[in-house]
């Protein structure tokens, strides 16, 4: 569910007309709904109750500081995968004891930053990382709380580029080697074991792989306790998928996920951490774009938009589908026609959709890509020297630009010409 709907024939974000935002901000832009973000966070939090839990928003899916502040004020923790994301969480006012640090390649500088600024736990993904963290913590005279990310060798049955829980993936320590890794962790100075971590992939549309992974984590946690470790937290990662089409998809809801988690892990006397990204942010955002030209090709018509693959890369990177809807609602029964929806970038891959049935749109019309809140703005680039597009946050009848469009001067002045040229 989201808070983008037609009212009086015009698409609205909550109570704000999308075309009014376009008139003020210019296209293309991302717009997020505070009510939808809030609702999705709360659905997860309620789904895990009454187990002690912390819902840590995966910042990498949508990292604007205003969004982080909104979620942080609701009590969310944050899952960060870089020093930059850590600083974003802090800039949003999220306390260190609600920030977990994930990722396979944490540098010593990043470890230092988090240990100095405050951190809930590091999710450690390899033995060399464990040794580095021990050294950094010891040097700072402090202790790093850790969970080890185990790779349960479970097939998440999702897109190969976002599956992370198979033994061939780069993530985590193979679960069969976990006991040895925990024994090593317990023997190292500056390290305190607090839990076990797992994250098997993204956009999962079935609970079975989660349940298989969590069942393995359960067995491991019991074994580790028998080995003498204090396992007080289980971090279950993120990955629950969202419907990208309105029609035929029905991925499990947070409440079903929560019921399963409680069934599998409810008796363990642990605090549950989860790291949802997409399910909180995905359907909370639209990408709004204007039609520049309608071009009649050989046997097909192209809708050339002012948004491109550099603004929203998911279709060209993952072959992902986004519903595209007109900002002015088509009247029932009005004709449609198939369009290839493309951007202006000089790549054939700059194609959002092929043969998509849309109303008879013309230059100057606005369209919106649904489900663009996650892995949209954060993956954008300035390819073709196209400025990063603005982000707008709506709450009720008010909206604010939460990241402005840079000027070309700002973009070009970041380059510098060596004096010997
Ligand atoms: C990407 C990622 C997430 C979030 O995944 P979603 O599919 O957006 O929920 C959570 N945890 C880790 C470690 C990740 O890498």
Q: How remote is the CA of residue 378 from the centroid of ligand 1, in Å?
A: 14
Give domain status of residue 332, yes or no: yes
| Residues 347/379, Cβ–Cβ less than 8 Å | no
Q: Are residues 230 and 162 in the same domain?
A: yes
Q: How remote is the CA of residue 268 from the centroid of ligand 1, in Å?
A: 24
Secondary structure of 214-256 in the HEC alphabet?
A: HHHHHHHHHHHHHCCCCCCEEECCCCECCCCCCCCCCCCCHHH
Contact residues for 349 (Cβ-Cβ < 8 A; gap 6+):
309, 316
Mean pLDDT of residues grouped by 10 in the chain (421 residues)? 94 98 98 98 97 98 98 98 98 98 97 98 97 98 98 86 78 94 98 97 94 98 98 97 82 96 98 98 98 93 98 96 96 92 94 96 98 98 98 98 98 98 96
| Residues 390/399, Cβ–Cβ less than 8 Å | no
Q: Name the domain boundary from 234, 264, 280.
A: 280
Q: How remote is the CA of residue 197 from the centroid of ligand 1, in Å?
A: 12
- β-partners of residue 249 are none
Q: Does a cis peptide bond (omega within 30 degrees of 0) precede residue 28?
A: yes
Q: What is the pLDDT of residue 344?
A: 97
Smallest Cα–Cα separation from 21: which of 290, 249, 284, 319? 290
The DSSP 8-state label assigned to residue 143 in this structure reads: -
102 C-beta closer than 6 A to ligand 1 = yes
Phi, psi of 256 (to 5 degrees): -70, -40
Q: Are residues 270 and 386 in the same domain?
A: no
34-81 confidence digits (pLDDT tens): 999 999 999 999 999 999 999 999 999 999 999 999 999 999 999 999
Which is it for the CA torsion 71, 72, 77, 83, positive or negative? positive
Give domain status of residue 418, yes or no: no
CATH number of the domain enclosing 333? 2.40.37.10
Give domain status of residue 271, yes or no: yes
Q: Name the domain boundary from 228, 249, 280.
A: 280
Q: Are residues 66 and 176 in the same domain?
A: yes
Give domain status of residue 164, yes or no: yes
83-133 confidence digits (pLDDT tens): 999 999 999 999 999 999 999 999 999 999 999 999 999 999 999 999 999
Q: Are residues 146 and 229 in the same domain?
A: yes
Q: How remote is the CA of residue 310 from the centroid of ligand 1, in Å?
A: 22
Q: Are residues 68 and 193 in the same domain?
A: yes
79 C-beta closer than 6 A to ligand 1 = yes
346 as an active site residue: the answer is yes
Q: What is the pLDDT of residue 248?
A: 64
Q: Is 101 helix (H, G, I), strand (E, B) or coil?
A: strand
Annotated catalytic residue within 250, 346, 417, 421? 346
Q: Name the domain boundary from 228, 245, 280.
A: 280
Give domain status of residue 194, yes or no: yes
CATH number of the domain enclosing 51? 3.20.20.10
- Mutating to test ligand 1, I would choose from 55, 60, 124, 272 the residue with most ligand atoms within 8 A of its C-beta, which is 60
Give domain status of residue 417, yes or no: no
Q: What is the pLDDT of residue 56?
A: 98
Give domain status of residue 360, yes or no: yes
Q: Are residues 96 and 214 in the same domain?
A: yes
Give domain status of residue 64, yes or no: yes
Q: What is the pLDDT of residue 247?
A: 66
Q: Are residues 261 and 309 in the same domain?
A: no
Whole-angstrom CA distances from 163 to 159, 166, 169, 242, 301 are 6, 7, 8, 16, 35
- Say how many domains are in the chain: 2
Q: Are residues 227 and 150 in the same domain?
A: yes
276 C-beta closer than 6 A to ligand 1 = yes
The DSSP 8-state label assigned to residue 171 in this structure reads: S
Q: What is the pLDDT of residue 330?
A: 85
Q: Are residues 339 and 380 in the same domain?
A: yes
State the residue range of the domain holding 111: 34-280
Q: Are residues 68 and 207 in the same domain?
A: yes
Strands (E) located in 231-346: 233-235, 271-274, 285-296, 301-305, 324-326, 336-342
What is the rounded (10 degree) CA torsion for 134, 136, 137, 140?
150
């Amino acid at each position: 569910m989201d808070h983008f709907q037609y009212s009086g024939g015009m698409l609205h974000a909550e109570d704000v007309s999308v075309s009014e935002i376009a008139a003020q901000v210019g296209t293309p832009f991302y717009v997020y709904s505070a009510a939808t973000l809030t609702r999705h966070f709360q659905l997860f939090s309620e789904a895990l109750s009454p187990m002690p839990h912390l819902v840590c928003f995966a910042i990498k899916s949508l990292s604007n500081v205003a969004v982080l502040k909104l979620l942080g004020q609701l009590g969310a923790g944050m899952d960060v995968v870089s020093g930059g994301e850590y600083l974003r969480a802090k800039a949003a006012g999220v306390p260190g004891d609600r920030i977990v640090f994930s990722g396979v390649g944490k540098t010593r500088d990043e470890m230092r930053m988090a240990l100095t600024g405050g951190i809930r736990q590091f999710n450690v993904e390899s033995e060399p990382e464990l040794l580095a963290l021990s050294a950094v913590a010891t040097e700072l005279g402090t202790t790093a709380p850790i969970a080890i990310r185990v790779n349960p060798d479970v097939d998440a049955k999702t897109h190969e580029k976002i599956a992370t829980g198979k033994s061939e993936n780069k993530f985590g320590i193979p679960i069969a080697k976990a006991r040895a890794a925990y024994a090593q962790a317990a023997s190292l100075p500056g390290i305190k074991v607090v839990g076990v971590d797992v994250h098997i992939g993204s956009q999962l549309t079935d609970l079975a792989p989660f349940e298989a992974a969590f069942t393995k984590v359960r067995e491991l946690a019991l074994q580790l306790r028998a080995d003498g470790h204090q396992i007080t937290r289980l971090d279950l990662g993120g990955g629950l998928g969202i419907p990208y089409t309105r029609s035929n998809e029905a991925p499990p809801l947070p409440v079903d996920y929560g019921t399963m988690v409680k069934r599998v892990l409810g008796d363990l006397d642990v605090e549950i951490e989860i790291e949802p990204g997409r399910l909180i942010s995905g359907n909370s955002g639209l990408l709004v774009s204007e039609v520049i030209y309608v071009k009649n090709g050989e046997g097909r018509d192209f809708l050339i938009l002012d948004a491109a693959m550099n603004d929203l890369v998911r279709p060209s990177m993952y072959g992902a589908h986004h519903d595209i809807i007109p900002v002015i609602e088509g009247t029932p029964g009005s004709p449609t026609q198939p369009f290839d929806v493309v951007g202006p970038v000089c790549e054939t891959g700059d194609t959002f959709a092929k043969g998509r049935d849309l109303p008879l749109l013309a230059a100057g019309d606005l369209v919106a890509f649904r489900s663009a809140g996650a892995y949209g703005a954060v993956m954008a680039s300035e390819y073709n020297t196209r400025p990063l597009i603005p982000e707008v946050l709506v709450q009720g009848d008010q909206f604010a630009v939460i990241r402005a469009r840079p000027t070309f001067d700002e973009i070009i002045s970041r380059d510098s010409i060596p004096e010997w040229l």
